[in-house]
Amino acid sequence: MNRWMRASSLLVPVGAAFALGRLTAPDPSSLKAAAPCLTTVTRPLRRSQPPPKVPDDASCETRLSASKAEADALQAALADMDDQTYGRPIPWPASTPAGYRPAEFQDRLRRAIADCGVPLTLVDFDCDEAPCFAIARTQDNGFSFDEGWYSALTTCPAWKEVYGDGVSMASDTIHCPKGTESFLMFSSNPKWLVSTDDKEGWANYMKRFDARVDDAKDAWRCQP
């Protein structure tokens, strides 16, 4: 179970909205009419409404052109559905502050773990889009305000002098063949990137956080 938390020093998004499409199969008569023109295997398409009907006596060129237009419209609809479900990837702003770029964030976090004995084992980083997130194993139960990794990290000068005591995080338990492992994904407070007053931007950030956490858990490698 993900632990989503929000406090003055801890801002973590909660939940995500999911948009569902419906599956419809092509009109059998249209497939029969187009059969002489088909050079690839056809398959059912997902769409919100039936495509315009092409006359049975239409030329191969006309039918193939209509099929391409339908496929293009489908791709656009699916891209929009992905945006509604998973959010739009957040590009790195040109104005990204010092310390928040991927290489800087990774270096500072590694120094904090080494200098202050933060009980974390780094597994990976997700920095393809903003903000950069660390993925780690914890040696405690994932989160504690008064002990363990959180206290050690947020009081460590290497972290605190740039990021303060804010952490945006999700933790979970991963079931592995040899037992459970503690999953942790975290970054600094995202206020440098998006404001909670920006409802659209904040909603997109929450969706992206949810999606990125799910991707990280799917890619998790259990210890041998």
Q: 24-51 pLDDT, tens per residue?
A: 444 555 444 444 444 443 444 444 556 6
Q: Which domain holds residue 154?
A: 1-224
| Burial classification of residue 57, based on how many CB atoms lie within 10 Å of its CB (0-12 exposed, 13-18 middle, 19 or more buried) | exposed
In the predicted model, is pLDDT for residue 64 greater than 90? no
* Alpha-carbon distances of 107 from 25, 99, 102, 162, 220, rounded to whole Å: 52, 9, 8, 12, 22
Q: Tell me how many domains the chain contains.
A: 1
Q: Above pLDDT 90, what percent of the chain?
A: 51
pTM of the model: 0.66
What is the pLDDT at residue 66?
67
Rounded Cα distance, 167 and 156, in Å: 13
Q: Which of these, 148, 183, 188, 151, lies nearest to 168 by C-alpha position? A: 188
3-class state of residue 152 by DSSP: helix
Residue 183, pLDDT above cutoff 80: yes
